[in-house]
Amino acid sequence: MRISADELAKVNRDSIPLGHGGGYYGEIAVFHELHCLKFIRQAFHMDYYRHIYGEKKEETMGEHTDFTQEHTCVNWDSLMKWAEPRSIDIFQEGMLVHPTLGPAYLGGIREDRPHAEDVTSMSNL
């Protein structure tokens, strides 16, 4: 999701600047945690999912940013109403651009992650 520099400062974090309109990359922690749970499920069924990761398992499951968050109870409907207009498509070419390596998803596809086409934007949830 797209967040402002002021919002980023309020949570005392740094982030990746976004293309196509500015702001910074942010996400609701629960969506990242669900993504991680998917990896755990796939690890338990590696015989089935081996074709996805192949020899790139360590690269795919490699280093991560600090995503730790304190648990906060919220009204889910209000949270989604706030988040939906901020939704971005990280696979849109030029949305995520590494300062030295360049665009993250040329043509909207991350080739080392075949399941990327299964990812839906927040507005499709």
pLDDT for the residue numbered 24: 94
Task: Provide the pLDDT for residue 105.
Answer: 81
Closest CA to 42 of 32, 31, 52, 28: 52
Do residues 92 and 119 lie in contact, with contact meaning Cβ atoms separated by under 8 Å? no
- pLDDT reading at 83 higher than 50: yes
- 3: tokens are 């967040």
- Per-residue CA distances from 72 to 29, 51, 76, 101 (Å): 10, 37, 11, 36
The model's confidence at residue 112, banded by pLDDT at 50, 70 and 90, is low
Nearest CA-CA partner of 27 in 11, 9, 61, 3: 3
CB-CB contact of 45 with 52 (8 Å): no
pTM exceeds 0.85: no
Q: Could you report the per-residue pLDDT of 98-108, keeping only the tens digit for each? A: 878 888 887 76
The whole-number pLDDT of residue 117 equals: 45
pLDDT of residue 7: 93
Q: What is the mean pLDDT of residues 37-45?
A: 83
Q: Which of 98, 117, 101 is nearest to 25 (CA)?
A: 98
